[in-house]
Structure 1
């Protein structure tokens, strides 16, 4: 490997001491492609490093302590400066989001295991809202739990664009985008689920749906007026299976109030998902309900 003649090269032992790492760790970083020696002696196989690589070696060690994937560590070391810091910020935001989801799940499981679900449900405030009749465009698909987030985001983008460009816009509504679960969506069960967006011009929407051709997953239909019992949850609580606690809480409240569930459960999204953090409220978990006869 080429190096400047006036550069100071350190054998692996001396470099390890300066970098406050072990030679074993440095050999591992070399094998993983995270930190290559500046020079390897062809005869002896001894590794030599530049003094200027000390900071990179320490950075690699610290990033490994954050459990950053090897590819991410390689990118941070390669990029350096502001772009490296941005790469770290993006990784850590994902870590915090996953931790928030796990914290929510652990809390839910603790309630189940201890038999104190009633106390857990009490943390969810349940309300009702009356939703008027409206026309919606929708996309229905069989999806499993792990496929759900990507499909919800993609279908919302497709339907909202169609509503704005082809169907007279999205009317004022408490439900700009919502997903109806016509059957269970878990790791084993694939629904189906229906993604819906209200539209202002029903005739234009029907014409748009016809242009999609045979075999299309989209349709136009009337959503009758109904009352929803719902609770508002954070982004961290949306992930499966954490969200099950919210559904259970709403169902428990419905039973306590002497109401009847009249249709499949749904999730109502009212903010831009990409601009929210794990503790921001993003979704209503809801059931259509009516008074018992």
Structure 2
């Protein structure tokens, strides 16, 4: 036994770290904080006294509402890198709080007087011709959506560049709801001339001609859940104006998100429509 770093029973370790035995077992199962040794015959767990520092850190990180996966990442990181990871979490939390505040203000505006109106959005209509598009579709929830869009869009852009493109605005088409609990499916599309589509290795299809109602949004408004209000605004306009939704909604990107400022217009939220 290392006298400078003695082992502690789980009960003693729980008391000194001010974590419950139940919490310690949870952190062990999630790979966040594992005991130093587990007796295979009795199941008794023992921790090193030196682990108290990490245990107390876990307690503080969880008080920040930090997800387990982030806590595990911080504990597995070198000690000199941990402060930066906490800083990044704090910045992300502040950004989420800002978005929630903006959304709360929007909801107050929408529900004011009991009328579901969206004065901040201008709705227009247009005719969209038939076009051939590169396509990639997947079932994804909201947390995985940005990564899928970036990956699929990157693959399509590489193919288009080789073929002499891009040839128009890319689209993200939602064939089902995408939230923390619903997974679409979602389709990423990029227009390409029909003859050129035959020369690339990615799948393609024909997107039929249609009329659509749409509203233009900024980069800041693209973020989830803020973007949902733009969808609601277009749907509300469709219902009020004697139209009906005739196809899955889509985001049409006509600007580079990476290069745009938050206030720059970058996309249209559009619904194919038909008269009732």
The TM-score normalised by the length of structure 2 is: 0.61
Match in the other structure for 1:115? 114
Q: Do residues 231 (structure 1) and 231 (structure 2) align?
A: no
Task: Give 1:39 shift.
Answer: 9.1
Q: Give the RMSD, CA atoms, in angstroms.
A: 5.3
Cα deviation, residue 185, structure 1: 3.8
Specify the SS of the correspondent of 1:207: coil
Alignment of 1:13-92 (within 5 A): 21-22=17-18, 24-25=19-20, 28-29=23-24, 32-33=27-28, 34=32, 50=49, 53=51, 55-89=53-87, 91-92=89-90
Gaps of 5+ in 2: 39-43
Count, aligned residues = 261
Q: Which runs of 5+ in 1 are unaligned?
A: none
Contact 1:35 1:57 in 2 (8 A): yes
Aligned runs of 1:68-217 on 2, under 5 Å? 68-89=66-87, 91-92=89-90, 95-96=93-94, 99=97, 102-103=100-101, 106-107=104-105, 110=108, 111-112=110-111, 115-118=114-117, 121-124=118-121, 126=122, 136-139=132-135, 141=137, 143=139, 151-165=148-162, 167-171=163-167, 173=168, 175=169, 177-180=170-173, 185=177, 194-199=187-192, 202-208=194-200, 216=203
Conservation of the 8 A alpha-carbon contact between 1:143 and 1:185: no
Q: Distance in 1 between matches of 2:124 and 2:66?
A: 44
**Counterpart in the other structure of 2:269:** 285
Aligned partners of 2:251 and 2:269 also within 8 Å: yes
Q: Deviations over 1:122-168 (max 9, x none)?
A: 133x2769899695423264857657655544432232222112x21
Rg comparison, structure with higher value: 1
Label 1:184 to 1:63 Cα distance change in 2 as closer, same or farther (>3 A).
closer
Tell me whether 1:247 sits opposite 2:243 in the alignment: no
Scaled by the length of structure 1, what TM-score is found?
A: 0.58
